[in-house]
Amino acid sequence: MKRYWLVFVLGVACSEPKDTISAEDLGPATFEVDESSARSFDFSEESETLSAWDERFLDAGLVNIQQQIPEVIVDLKYSSTDNFFGQDVYDDLENAYLQPEVSDMLKKAYQYLQQKDSSLTFLVYDGVRPRAVQQILWDNLDKPDSIKPLYVADPKVGGLHNYGVAIDLTIARKETGKPLDMGTKYDYFGYAAYPDREGQMLREGKITRKHVENRKLLREVMSQAGFHGIGSEWWHFNAFTRKQAAEKFKIVE
């Protein structure tokens, strides 16, 4: 049984997409909860032993964000079968890891989120991703190789998740652990999940103003802390460019 728990500390943010709705057009902030993907979290239990993956990440100099950042919820999608290819590639891993300075940035983002609404927290879906796991995702993504890099970095090159400087996350209610409704599930491969297509998707009725508002809040707090989003995934944020990451860190194999 997976265990999900809160830690008490701070941290998140991203850049504005090209085709989004202005804050003025959206009106007063009202956050919509995604009931379809909501699940129960037991915050009373803590991991008693380290898995082989935990030891591997700690040996690589990464930090467990659940021990660094307060009230963050972790639900590793690739440590379950609730992902786009239906496989658990991490087995008993329950913790999310990042480079130490990226974790510090996340603390700042969380502080910004608390200033906006102290009833909210982050729900983390993925942090560092070893190249071996990247290969599994690449092989199982049912898209042409020419399109795959929009969603999964080519493991031959290495992506920012592989360096421990990218994070996949959303915003959730602290009291229930339920994520705000962002209009699509995590790892939805279509225009409805594209920040760059929000204006178009809104006009076509594929997403709502509440969905855009919730995404804008996530982008705002992440960008305030120095993170940058990408055009095809509302949940993905990078702390550095690929060039910066390669200069500062090694790929986690």
| Amino acid present at 16 | E
Q: What is the DSSP letter of 31?
A: P
CB 142 within 8 A of CB 251: no
* Rounded Cα–Cα distance for residues 137 and 37 (Å): 21
Phi first, then psi, for residue 8 (nearest 5°) are: -110, 105
Active site residue 35: no
Q: Which of 71, 94, 220, 233 is flagged as catalytic?
A: 233
Largest CA distance in the chain: 50
* Rounded Cα–Cα distance for residues 106 and 13 (Å): 8
Residues labelled catalytic:
233
